[in-house]
Amino acid sequence: MAILTVTDLHARYSSSGPEILKGISFAVEDDDFFAIIGPSGAGKSTLIRCINRLVEPAQGQIIFDGRHVTELPKRELRTLRRDIGVIFQEFNLINRMSVMDNVLSGRLGYTGNLRTLFRAFKRDDIEHGLQLLERVGLIDHVDKRADELSGGQRQRVGIARALMQNPKMLLLDEPTSALDPKISREVMGLIKQMATELKVPCLCNIHDVQLATEFCNKIIGLQDGYMKFNGPTEQMDEAKLNDIYAMEVL
């Protein structure tokens, strides 16, 4: 069953600006780990950001978990966004806060304003946060400031924070682009393993085609806002890759 269905999606950043996405349609099933690949400027990040309306689509339909995303009033976006975890390219951690407080910030969508202000999180949330930090290998860094960590460690905090939301889907926006190849593979492996264990489908914008084919079961290939490929990873071959990246300037 599809947790996400996107139909004829168009997007632009201003009413008079060029179209960034041009009629994109696809569906994410409950057990999918989808990669979005393509050259720079193809629309990969825009597509990710349309899903939770960080970018407002110009046309088309997005249905997530039975909700018509493009029709939701702004007051209901908070509920939508807490059901969609996001792992960012540049980690988006608060450097002066501890590792634990950064992870607990994943519960802000569920926590009242006073509790948030005084960081008075529930015991169950604290225990869940500790379990996630154990799982991502950072239990010994609970009280460290986020800016004391390496890049790979910071992304592991980002993974734990996203999963702290108990999301129904994860959006990954270039989660490995700031990491070296060895750490990139470790991080992708960790995301894939935890997403599989927790049964959370993923939609991943990724620049590294090798990682996409290694860890993802389906691939979307974008070029200049158009969908050039949408299918199982095993159907991706060199000819299709060359077609997707034909317009990339080297």
Of the chain, the percentage scoring pLDDT greater than 90 comes to 81
Q: Exposed, middle or buried by CB within 10 Å (0-12, 13-18, 19+), for 144?
A: middle
Average pLDDT in the 156-184 region?
A: 94
The partner residues of 2 in beta bridges, in order of sequence, read 29
pLDDT in the model for residue 89: 82
Q: 242: pLDDT confidence band, cut at 50, 70 and 90?
A: very high
Kindly state the DSSP code that residue 166 receives in the 8-state scheme.
Answer: -
Question: 211 to each of 92, 130, 178, how far by Cα in Å?
Answer: 22, 29, 14
Average pLDDT score, the chain: 91
C-alpha 9/C-alpha 27 separation (Å) is 12
51 vs 117, residue with greater confidence: 51
Average pLDDT in the 54-66 region?
A: 96
180 vs 16, residue with greater confidence: 180
Q: What is the pTM of this model?
A: 0.90
Q: 250: pLDDT confidence band, cut at 50, 70 and 90?
A: very low
pLDDT in the model for residue 71: 93
Element (H, E) at 114: helix 113-117
Q: Would you say residue 249 has pLDDT above 50?
A: yes
Q: What single letter denotes the amino acid at residue 120?
A: A
Cβ distance 46 to 222 under 8 Å?
Answer: no
pLDDT in the model for residue 111: 64
- Per-residue pLDDT reduced to its tens digit, 67-90: 999 999 988 898 899 999 999 887
Average pLDDT in the 32-36 region?
A: 97
- Per-residue pLDDT reduced to its tens digit, 131-161: 999 999 999 999 999 999 999 999 999 999 9
The partner residues of 63 in beta bridges, in order of sequence, read 5, 68
Of the chain, the percentage scoring pLDDT greater than 70 comes to 95
pLDDT in the model for residue 112: 56
Architecture of the domain made up of 32-49+79-244: 3-Layer(aba) Sandwich (3.40)
pLDDT in the model for residue 135: 94
Average pLDDT in the 204-225 region?
A: 96
179 vs 62, residue with greater confidence: 62
